[in-house]
Amino acid sequence: MSFRNRLRFEHQLAALVGLLCLALVGATVGGAIWLERRSAVRLAEERLERLAGGMAESLDATLRERFREIQVVAGLALLRERWTADPAAARGVLAAMRTTAPDYAWLGFVAADGRVTIGTEGMLEGVAMNGRTWFEAGLTQPNVGDVHEAVLLNRLLHRAGPEPLRLVDLAAPVRDAAGTVIGVLGGHLSWDWASRVRKRLLETAAPGTELWVLDRRGRVLLGPQVGAVPFGPALTGGMVERGSGTFAVELGAEAIRAGFASAARGERAEIAGGDPALGWIVVATRPQARILAPVHRSIRPLLALGAAVALVGVVLAWCLGRGVAAPLRRMTVAADRIGREPDATTLPHLDHAREFRELSASLQALLRRIGTAERELSDATDRSTRVAAFYRRQIEALRQVAGTDMLTGLLNRRGFVVPAEEAFAIGRSGRGAAVLVIDIDHFKRVNDEHGHDAGDAVIRHVGALLAEAVRGSDTVARFGGEEFVVLLVGLGSAEAVLIAGRLCAAVRETTVTHPGGTIAVTVSIGVAMVAGQDADIHAAIARADAALYDAKARGRDRVGIAPGTGGTERAA
């Protein structure tokens, strides 16, 4: 009877522990799979939202820059009389704009009667624009039109390929000295620029990712099925209202995960000088099946591991059940004393059965290994602390590199942010801060005639001259291409203009030597003081940028001064 009771006890114990192991392993494996699925989906949605946000920011930045450019050129005082009296000179300005920003398919001036009088490469000159939305709206205020297919330019530009040319219209009124509108400066921005941004981002995205650009009504402007409305009005309205986020949707028979971001706010730029706002929505999508494919591949190994762990639990339960209670209680009491009492460092040697002797020896060995592991853990902790300190230093070094222009060693746009904020605070406090926007004259000609290596040499040469010519408290940054920005702090307007003139002269009096010979270089400079009405440093930069355009329009190699800056304009 006792033998049968002992067997029953063993069986019951083994069955109980086996069921517990199965339940725990099942819950652990199921929880791990659920967490892995949720983590994979969440990570994918975060990446999709970042991807959509990146494209939205790129579209917004380019459109804002072109919109500002159209308004600046339309308002240049130097060109007020030339639009009608000197079309050749005005055409040259538009050609230079198109060279600087090749995404312009066309730039032109339309007289108040609706006839195109000036167009890049002579295109559309003499054509009537009456009734065109961008022209009619441009007579009263700056505006941006939504994406549409080109009608006249598609034939004139001899565009190759099956895709028709699509444009974004930009327009701003041109006024004479009396403030009367004499015409409209219009620009047709090729939508190909957005296609290139999309292609570049998709090359770095996960397989199966798609990027869509929608208008406010959900119609596809860029991406699969151009012109379709894939997401429905309710979902589109939610995206417009939220601005950014993620969602899941069924497209056809396929479950899709998506992230989205708005590229602008509102339906149209209603205020002259405001930001363009067409309400585009960028959506990044990826099939849920692709997102969860790695999770599904890991389910079978997890289930096999769980079954193995459960089997080990049953075997251990059977072995434990074969022992007697007394030796186990002795072992339990002795084990409980370890770590509580100073003299309790070993476990008793059990002689009742070979299994208990082996268990006793194994536990003794385990205690020794635990001591060894604790020492190794302490050593590993010390090593990890040193490694973490090393990586912190590396990360700080990378942050410094990220703010430096690789070609010139000057600050880039990222590195420019902190000193720009400090200079803006100094200017607002009344201690004086000036912004110099500097552009290398005829830089495209240098690249065309001498090659891009020579162009890089010119940029390095000008950057070195600027860095040497200013004080240690001033800041020189390369904004990209051949454009530099200099921040002068603690100076008045007259001193800033004087320094700008010296910089012009310093560049003019030196030449750049390269394997093909020497190159004479000049720069044009726009100067603006940080003013109390400036919302941020970018407002001062914008005024200096407008003064730079004025200096270039007056012949280059000279200093243009923003209105209200003071000082005397300097020419070559």
CATH number, domain with residue 453:
3.30.70.270
CA–CA separation, 72 vs 541, rounded Å?
A: 13
pLDDT at 267 over 50: no
What's the total number of domains in the chain?
3
Domain match, 298 and 347 both:
no
Treating both helix axes as pointing N-terminal to C-terminal, what angle do 325-337 and 354-402 enclose, rounded to 10 degrees?
Answer: 40
Q: Are 558 and 571 in contact (CB under 8 A)?
A: yes
pLDDT at 222 over 60: yes
**Lowest-confidence region among 155-164, 198-207, 514-523:** 155-164
**Surface-to-core class of residue 127, CB atoms within 10 Å of its CB (0-12 exposed, 13-18 middle, 19+ buried):** middle
For the segment 441-470, what is each residue's pLDDT rounded down to a tens digit? 999 999 998 899 999 999 999 999 999 988
Give me the mean pLDDT over the 509-537 stretch.
90
pLDDT at 298 over 60: yes
The residue from 282, 304, 326 where one domain ends is: 304
pLDDT at 396 over 70: no
**Lowest-confidence region among 350-354, 425-429, 482-486:** 350-354
Domain match, 168 and 215 both:
yes
Domain match, 261 and 115 both:
yes
Structure confidence at residue 501 (pLDDT): 94
pLDDT at 187 over 80: yes
The amino acid occupying position 548 is: L
Give me the mean pLDDT over the 95-113 stretch.
92
What confidence category does residue 357 fall into, taking pLDDT thresholds of 50, 70 and 90?
low
- The token duo for 127 is 């054509």
For the segment 39-51, what is each residue's pLDDT rounded down to a tens digit? 989 999 999 999 9
Residue 322 domain-assigned? no
Domain match, 65 and 116 both:
yes
Structure confidence at residue 503 (pLDDT): 94
**Lowest-confidence region among 170-179, 250-259, 268-277, 298-307:** 268-277
Structure confidence at residue 322 (pLDDT): 59
CA–CA separation, 409 vs 466, rounded Å?
A: 12
Query: Taking the C-alpha atoms of 536, 137, 77 and 90 in order, what is their torsion angle to the nearest 10 degrees?
Result: 120
Residue 404 domain-assigned? no
For the segment 546-568, what is each residue's pLDDT rounded down to a tens digit? 999 999 999 999 999 998 776 54
Domain match, 435 and 382 both:
no
Domain match, 215 and 278 both:
yes
Domain match, 392 and 417 both:
no
Enumerate the H helices of 403-492 as residue ranges. Answer: 413-428, 443-450, 452-469
- The token duo for 273 is 């000088």
Nearest CA-CA partner of 497 in 568, 545, 409, 442? 568
Structure confidence at residue 522 (pLDDT): 94
Nearest CA-CA partner of 461 in 421, 419, 502, 410? 410
Domain match, 140 and 248 both:
yes
Domain match, 194 and 271 both:
yes
Pairwise pLDDT comparison (328 vs 270), residue with the higher score: 328
Degrees, nearest 5: CA angle 177-183-185: 105
Structure confidence at residue 273 (pLDDT): 45
Domain match, 426 and 537 both:
yes
**Domain that residue 477 falls in:** 413-561
Pairwise pLDDT comparison (421 vs 371), residue with the higher score: 421
Residue 533 domain-assigned? yes
Structure confidence at residue 572 (pLDDT): 40
What confidence category does residue 7 fall into, taking pLDDT thresholds of 50, 70 and 90?
low
Q: What is the CATH number of the domain that holds 235?
A: 3.30.450.20
Give me the mean pLDDT over the 223-231 stretch.
88
Domain match, 424 and 453 both:
yes
Residue 365 domain-assigned? yes
CA–CA separation, 157 vs 57, rounded Å?
A: 29
CA–CA separation, 556 vs 443, rounded Å?
A: 12
The residue from 304, 327, 343 where one domain ends is: 304
Residue 33 domain-assigned? no
Domain match, 122 and 223 both:
yes
As a whole number, the mean pLDDT across the chain is 83
Residue 114 domain-assigned? yes
Pairwise pLDDT comparison (52 vs 358), residue with the higher score: 52
What confidence category does residue 348 fall into, taking pLDDT thresholds of 50, 70 and 90?
low
Residue 186 domain-assigned? yes
Residue 95 domain-assigned? yes
